[in-house]
Every structure is written in structure tokens, then in C-alpha cells.
Chain A
């Protein structure tokens, strides 16, 4: 048990560090450091342009999608090298936002199911940031119950015709490609009639409408499909095997979001040290200390759970649903920390302007964004089901719709 870099890891770290210090957009550093939760600060510079620029610079030198094989545009690096890279990339990692879904979820799915030709054509451009991907899974009628989705795909010669609606699609408005799961057979039980495709987001018949979120931003969208045509060659996996394909996406999703989730702990610790409360610094307050200890234990526990997962990965084991705990713990922590941090500020806690609010309004931003963390990519309840059923082997929920043909399943009105 040790945290020392091996000789090889140390060499990798040195190489990464040297390259980053020579090539990173240092003019952005002071702005990026001021980023508050879920909002990237690039000062006067355009965020997307800067994100793409940094991505391309990294790609040209082989520093994106590190774990992917070289001919897919990656580096063939080990999981531990991936961790080292993220440590070294530091504040510039904030510029990876638009590429996360492609790298973490769509890319691995394409790599697992697409033809060699498509892999060669798509993956390097995904890695370089030249093309951005989004995940068209959730629908009004199928979020947690993803297999309840209704978007139809009907075969017409060598093409498929798509009609229906997706919702909550992050980044659809700036994406070039989408990974799309559809229903191709409504007469069989719901998991059996699904098929996966990828398509260009500028295909005729695709309409994207932004959705305004609780925090006022519009990171996600509604996406409507009206007679959209997709060549059969853009199908991933067999017809009717869409569920199996989606599990590959979702497994990668858990791995990519579980690891380095922010928790809000370092920020709140810093805050209570400096906040002048009724009887001196807030950190001297007993109730505050109890919470700090609890939060530290969770944040530290997550950090070293990630280290255990990385070790398992590097030994060739595939960590499964265990990775679910990262988001489950971090999402709840952030929401709780935000509320406590506001509580300590009294009415001033209500201020939202970064110029006026404490710590540049980061806790207010956290308050307004953290509810989403508990929902996106598997809600808390779904994650607990996964832990209970797949890690601990508890019996599944009673599933009234499991063996019923999809078109005979009862539907609610909400």
C-alpha cells in the first residue's frame, strides 16, 4: 500500500507537467481559478473557443482520451496515468466540460459497437474536440425507466425513420453528433424492442429547444425528431439489442462521473475559517465542527475509494456498480454543504451576485445546481437500487411491466 509514483509513473508525471507548463493557456489561469461550481470562468475569452483550442493542442500532442488506444486518438495510458494527468492538468481541466459526455460515454460505446471504418472516422475527431457528442437517452416518459422510451425508429429500405422526442439532452445545442436510443418494436417487452444509433445533430428533421434550468442556465435541451433519416450503417449493435448497448454507455457513465466529483468540502472549510461569526470564527462553533468532521470523513472516504477503484482498474479488474457511490455521496454533500454555508451567513446568504456574496457566491451557485447532481446520470434512488441489487445481490423490485409487451404497459398522466 503506497502512494509513491513508480519509476514509470514518475516519468509520466514529469512529462505531463513539463508539457502542460509549456503549452497550457496560462492567460486563463486567473479566470479559471475563479470558476464557481458548474460555471466555468474564462474572463473576457470565449469559453467554447478556448475549450476547443486547449483540446486540440492536447490532442496534437497525444494528451486527450488517455486510456483509449492510439488508433482511436488516445494514448493507451494506464488508469493511474489518467489520474496523474488530471492532477497535473489541474485548473485547466475545467475546460473539458463540453467533451465529457463524448469521451466518457459516447466514445466507449462507439468503440465497442461501431464498424472499424466508423471508429476511424469518428473517434479521433471526438478525441480532438473537433466534433462534440451528446447522449440522446432520456425522454419525457423514460428517465429512470429508460427502457420505457417511446421514440420510434422504423425501417425504410437501408434507412431508419425516427419520430419522437428526447429531453434533458446536455449540450445538444453545440453537439455535432448524438448517440440515440429508440424503440424499434413496441410489441415485445420493453427491454427487448430497443435499438441504438448515432446521428448528426444537423440532420433534417432534428429540432433543438433549450430548457431553462433552476439555476437559470440552459445546459440541457429538448430534442424533437420528425421523420429524421438515419442510414442503417449508423446502427450500433443488433436490432433489438439497444438495451445491451446502452448498458455499456451507462457503465462508462458511472465510471466517468463517479471518480472526481466535487463535494464542496474544501470550499466550506475555507469559508468557516474566515467567516467572522457571533463568537469569532465560525470554525470554533461546536455544531459547525461536528458537520466539518462528518463532511471531511465523506470527502476523504470518496477520495480514497477512487484510489481503490484506480488500483483495481490498474490490476485489470473491472470495477462495476461499486463506482455508483461517488455521485450518490457527493450530490447529497453538496446540497447539504450549500445550505449550511448559507445558514451561517444569515440573510446575506441570500445574495447571488458574485461581487456581493461571500466567496464569490459559490455556495449559492452550489445550492441552485446541486439538486441536479442527485438526478442526472441515475437518481439517488436508482443508484441505491443498483448498489442493493447488483453489489449486494438483494432481490429486484417487483417489476409489473417486465414481461408485458411494451404497447400494453399502463401509462400515467404526469
Chain B
């Protein structure tokens, strides 16, 4: 047994962290937060050059083929830096969907574009409030043309390519859903405001938009679940990266800020709050490592491990981000301090591929299935 990342993987983390320290400081994140940019193109250009978009994309499709453990390590650093770029949408979601379900021709066409960052991809599923199910998908496909609305779509106004879930047969069962690849240049796109302005969000209106099927007809829902499981592990690493940073920020502030003649970190109310953040984060980290192992080895345990990592990391990031503000007092509630960057991101990531309550349900389903077997 060896339950730790390798020295090479840690080296990769260091390298990405250094790069992000220089290119994704909070001043950069704030350029997007404050609407100067829709996303950070310069950072994206740097990431392209660094060659980490294709970390888990096989060499034959233009990636480096390093692997999923390496991609997890990268994700943790992106989360730590609250990176305002479509890395997750393009790589964990769109590229994974194409890797899982694409034809040979689709893979050779699109994956190299996504791996190089020339093309930005996203996934468009949600249409309205409530847990997404085949019943809530109304956008239809007819003769490979899509009509309907997707809202909200992550990075919808800047993505070039979307994987879209559409209704292809009557009824509300899983088999009524198929996936399509759509070139978004001809699709109407409107920005929508969200709780985390550092991540672009859009409403996409499809009117007979040309699309090509991704995967077999009626297989869309099942593919989606697989994509979500894989993405859950990767986003969970972003979440623990963010949680770690929030914990460190809170700890530092508690050492430096004085009240009643002593550092606030010497008050047990603060000290124990921070200790609890640490505990939640350590549990989440261990669950994420297990998820990484399952993703990296494509283990039969992946669905359970992914849901565990997702629920645990969501809890930890929300907890750490929320209490980071509390530790900072009034300063924590200012626009000027960075606490809200994590508060926003933690609450967006808690929803982006299905809400925590959905994942809790999935997790228990999967535990039941394992115990029944």
C-alpha cells in the first residue's frame, strides 16, 4: 500500500502553484470579478503554454497522457487560486464526455483542440430550478438540430463547443435523453449574473442549431452520470484546494489580529472553529485521495468514491470559506478582502454538477447497491 502522491506528482503541484502565484494572484481574479474581463485570457494563454490542459488526455489525441492523478494535483492548485478560467468546464466536463462517448473521429477532431486550449468546451444540461432529471430536460433534437434553452451554462458565452443534453424520444425515462456536440458560434448567448462572477455563466438559446450526436441515441443520461462521477473527483480537488487556502488565511489572520490585548487565535471560540475546519478538510482530503485512486485506476468503486469525495469536499469547502469570513470579522465582509472569493466559489462548486443533496442521495444509492451485492 502507498496512499500518497508521488514525488513527481508533488513536483507538478509545486510547478503549477508557482505559475499560479505569478499569473493568478487575487488581483488577476478580481479583473474578472469586477467585470473587466469575461474570463482571464492571459491566464488561459499561460495555461495553454504550460501544457496542463491535456494532462489526462491521451497522447494520440494531443494530450500529454500523464494521467488522472496528475490532473487531480493540477485541480487542487486551480481551486486554491480560485482560477477564473474555464478549465473545469472544458476539461473535466466536455473533454471527459468526448473521451467517454466520442467516436474515433470525434475524439481525433475535438480532443486535440481542447487539449491545446484553442477550443473551449462546456456542458449544457440544466434548464430550470430543481434537481436535473430526464423529466426536466425539454430541449429537443430533431434531425440533429436542437431547439430549446439551456440555463445556466458554465462559461456559456465564451465556450466554442458544448456537449448538450437533449430529449430525443417521448417520455421521461433515462432513455429519452441523448447527447450532442454543438458549435456555439451560431447560438444565441446571454450572460446571466451569478453568485460567483469569477466564473462566466450564460443562457443559451438554440433554434434549429446544427448538432452532431455524441454517443448512441438514448444513451445520454447514462453517459452524463459517468461524466459527472469523473468530474466530481476533479472538482473535489478544486474544492479542497480552496478550502486549504481559506483555512490558511483564517489561521494567519487569527495569529496577527489582536483584540482584548491578545491574538484572536488564542481565544478558544476562534481556535476551535479553526480546528474544526482543519478536521473537515483532512477528512475531505482523504476522501479525495481515495477518489483519485478510483479515477486513476478506473476502479469499480469509482461511483461510490466519487460521490464520497464530492459530498465531503463540498462540505469542507463551504465550512472553511464560511468560517474564514467569521474569523476576519467585519473585514471578512468587505469587497476588498479576498474571503468572499472563496465564499462565492465554494457555493458555486457546491451546485455546478448537481447539488450536495443530490450527491448525498446518489451516495446512499451506491452504498445500498454495494451492500446488496
Contact = CB atoms under 8 A, between A and B. Distances in A.
Contacts of B4: 1, 308, 311-312, 315
Contact of A289 (B275, B290, B364): B364
A395 B279 contact: no
Main secondary structure of the interface of B (DSSP, over half): helix
A149 to B, nearest CB: 23
Contacts of B18: none
* Chain A binding surface SS class: helix
A393 interface: yes
A388 B265 CA distance: 9
A397 B308 contact: no
B10 to A, nearest CB: 12
A387 B247 CA distance: 13
Interface string B45-86: 000000000000000000000000100000000000000000
Contacts, number: 154
Nearest to A289: B364
Contacts of B251: 392-394
Interface string B281-297: 01111110110110011
A78 B282 CA distance: 24
Contacts of B297: 2
B262 A387 contact: no
Contact of A329 (B283, B287, B292): B283
Nearest to A80: B1
Given A289-B361, A385-B271, A329 B279 contact: yes
B364 A308 contact: no
Contact of A388 (B69, B275, B363): B275
B6 to A, nearest CB: 8
Contacts of B286: 300-305, 307-308
24 contacts: A1-B2, A289-B360, A290-B360, A292-B364, A293-B311, A293-B363, A294-B311, A304-B289, A305-B282, A307-B1, A310-B3, A325-B279, A329-B279, A383-B275, A385-B272, A388-B272, A388-B274, A388-B275, A388-B278, A389-B271, A392-B247, A392-B251, A394-B271, A395-B262
Interface of A: 1-5, 9, 80, 83, 269-270, 273, 283, 289-290, 292-294, 296-298, 300-305, 307-308, 310-312, 315, 322, 325, 328-329, 381, 383-385, 387-389, 391-398
Interface of B: 1-6, 69, 247, 251, 254-255, 262-263, 265-266, 268, 271-272, 274-276, 278-279, 282-287, 289-290, 292-293, 296-297, 308, 311-312, 315, 357, 359-361, 363-364, 367-368, 371
Given A384-B271, A392-B278, 17 more contacts: A290-B360, A293-B359, A296-B364, A297-B284, A297-B287, A297-B315, A301-B283, A301-B287, A303-B286, A305-B282, A305-B283, A310-B1, A311-B1, A311-B2, A394-B255, A394-B274, A397-B268
